[in-house]
A and B are shown apart, each in its own frame.
Chain A
């Protein structure tokens, strides 16, 4: 079993350049974890330390119980059994596709078979004799994955591997990569700043901010129960409303909503920010007892649309996500209703 355990990882490039400050992360064997964060949060440094290209100032990295980085320990990259899929693939331009894939396979007898297996796995059987520049970007990326997987690594690192692909291709390559990783049950860490990519591919998402894991969990939990407003905003559109919570229910200008984590029934009412997703708000007919507002902007995306409404009792407008059919016009009056559960942040 090849679970990844990271404890207290610290790295600074200078007195004022602390990049990782005691980062902890656990990835169970066989799962795909996404490390999600804005640029400069330290996720690339994290990846390079896991791979062994960089030394950590403190902390440990353990894969399958084997300490790779720790006090007094630094296993060089070539002895870590960690494959990486870099940005833009970084195929060796002087080697054929097969030469690239076979590069890390030390068992000469198995080299040919393994190469074919891997190319087959990524759906590029028969491409072995091509040179890298003869492939499309998506194909290059899949060869890079095959190359990383060929030596049967304990762990695969993917460094924003889909950035360079155009959006039409991206979804397909993502699905292929995920399927290939699932097939062989690899433990993998995907580094990305794209929340859609993280949520859609990973079994586990770790949101990193300022060199620490701000929240770690299942993609749905991260989205629906963010640890704080910053995480909420980073992983998706958020609606923030001032509110008061009593006994597991929050009261806001848009009505009452049930909280995910019930508050103490006996305690006094709790003041805070109530956090909702735009798709939790519904448009209704305006009426007496219904919170209402005026439509100020409509952004239409085809499969859905975001309606901005200036609510009568609120300073900031709210966004509401609706299905693909929009009949409203800016200036129309509308009622608003909350569905589902929310989180409360003091």
Chain B
């Protein structure tokens, strides 16, 4: 496929989104260098940094590996086999998205205190983040022409070899994209690792704020995290390769004949059941226990409903802005591969592994200087969500745009539509289901966001996540439970729709 230059009407907003996503980096540059390069280098280039970095990477590798195993196996079982209750499983498999990492970690820790540390962190993070792999891989599996697998079978390869040699390589871009999000999630997570008392880089950055009340060392450490993120994104781009372009071919292939599991039915059911029990049922049961232990009379249903409404509102605004910004970036990344597209995508990802506090402080930094009227108002919080979660929406948009053949856009151009109208009339309507899926995903992560919300929310505003934080802060888990339960249940709705969606 030939590479044309992206039109300005796309490139300009995409660059704007990229620049927006780079704000935290600008802040980090200012802060980490305010006492000179030497100081920053002295903070960052220490044995302790290397140690923390190693631990963070180790955790990310473990979480990504486990997420790939869970995500790909569930995707295959729900898309390609005659597993009993396959539709229900495919929906339930996405529900862990609704569980905040700190709730999962707390549930595990209270049940099995010995898990504290690496194991517990890895378990909790894997169980909340594997849907990032499951969703794109399941979509990719549905898109693969079963004729290829049949050809492989007829050439003498068994089902396992066929999966490994024909199916899996084609799932690689989807799995790599999901894996990247999981890796960045694991790197940036603070909630689970702090509860699990596992010292990671992000926790190092937090304690640096907390311990020295000094932003320079924290900023210098954050820069290291950014460098690591850029390296990971580059690695993923390489894995994805240059073959990112959509299939041509006359529309949908025949649906695959479901694989009959036979004797493997029971183990397969057990596997799905165990994952869902650990990732969804268990945290909910823990919340149920808190609820039962608490004093029902102390409930404040009106407050809960109000807080839930606010949460839905800001999360929806966050998802809307993030998706709007991600759209041009995703389209450019899908349609105009080249150095500009790579840079834009990297820019979108660069800040994604940063802890929420760093992103929030960068928004504070810019807002008080250049947009003071917006400071501690809703628009700024929504902007912070966009910076934090842009990659989630970009990944979804790019994948969705790639699904439709580029020739459709060429035809629309030749029929007299300018680039912007082609985007509106052809690209977006065709990519709509995928873009909506990205928006739903962003909506869920915005709902769960805590550190940036705490710093940037309008004074006096509460989301379910901040209420949860407040209540657990005084150790009243019973009072916290309704908020946690409401958060999970509300976030479960878009997660459910994501799972139900067939792309």
A is bound by B? yes
Quick one: which of B251, B252, B414 contacts A82, CB cutoff 8 A? B414
Given the complex of chains A and B, what is the CA–CA distance between A16 and B419 in angstroms?
A: 31
A314 at the interface (CB under 8 A from B): no
Question: Number of B residues contacting the other chain (C-beta, 8 Å)?
Answer: 26
User: A70: which B residues are within 8 A, CB to CB?
Assistant: none
Within 8 A of B (CB), among A273-311: none
Query: With contacts A133-B251, A137-B250 known, is A90 near B414, CB below 8 A?
Result: no
B377 at the interface (CB under 8 A from A): no
B418 at the interface (CB under 8 A from A): yes
Whether B415 contacts A151 by the Cβ 8 Å rule is: yes
Query: With contacts A53-B4, A54-B4 known, is A92 near B413, CB below 8 A?
Result: no
Whether B416 contacts A106 by the Cβ 8 Å rule is: yes
A76 at the interface (CB under 8 A from B): yes
A234 at the interface (CB under 8 A from B): no
Given the complex of chains A and B, what is the CA–CA distance between A88 and B411 in angstroms?
A: 12
Residue in A closest to B404 when the chains form the complex, CB atoms = A93
A114 at the interface (CB under 8 A from B): no
Whether B411 contacts A84 by the Cβ 8 Å rule is: yes
Q: Smallest CB–CB gap between A160 and chain B, Å?
A: 12
Whether B415 contacts A147 by the Cβ 8 Å rule is: yes
A80 at the interface (CB under 8 A from B): yes
Within 8 A of B (CB), among A39-86: 45, 48, 51-55, 76-84, 86
A229 at the interface (CB under 8 A from B): no
Whether A94 contacts B430 by the Cβ 8 Å rule is: yes
Quick one: which of B4, B407, B414, B422 contacts A80, CB cutoff 8 A? B414
Q: Smallest CB–CB gap between B229 and chain A, Å?
A: 32
Given the complex of chains A and B, what is the CA–CA distance between A48 and B2 in angstroms?
A: 10
Whether B414 contacts A148 by the Cβ 8 Å rule is: yes
Given the complex of chains A and B, what is the CA–CA distance between A79 and B413 in angstroms?
A: 8
- Size bracket of the A interface: 35 or more
Quick one: which of B249, B251, B415, B418 contacts A76, CB cutoff 8 A? B418
User: B412: which A residues are within 8 A, CB to CB?
Assistant: 92, 103
Most B CB contacts (10 A, CB to CB) among A76, A78, A79, A150 go to: A78
Whether A78 contacts B430 by the Cβ 8 Å rule is: no
Given the complex of chains A and B, what is the CA–CA distance between A45 and B2 in angstroms?
A: 9
* Per-residue B-contact encoding for A81-123, CB less than 8 Å = 1, 0 else: 1111011101011100000000110100000000000000000
Within 8 A of A (CB), among B175-189: none
Residue in A closest to B422 when the chains form the complex, CB atoms = A78
Whether B408 contacts A78 by the Cβ 8 Å rule is: no
Given the complex of chains A and B, what is the CA–CA distance between A84 and B249 in angstroms?
A: 18
Whether B413 contacts A90 by the Cβ 8 Å rule is: no
Within 8 A of A (CB), among B33-89: none
Residue pairs across A and B with Cβ atoms less than 8 A apart, 14 shown, are A78-B414, A78-B415, A80-B414, A83-B415, A84-B410, A88-B248, A88-B250, A92-B430, A94-B429, A94-B430, A103-B412, A104-B416, A148-B415, A157-B414
**Residues of A bordering B, CB below 8 Å:** 13, 45, 48, 51-55, 76-84, 86-88, 90, 92-94, 103-104, 106, 133, 137, 147-148, 150-151, 153, 157, 164
**The 10 A-B residue pairs with the shortest CB-CB distance in the complex, in nearest-first order:** A104-B415, A77-B413, A90-B407, A84-B414, A86-B407, A78-B416, A94-B429, A78-B413, A104-B416, A78-B418
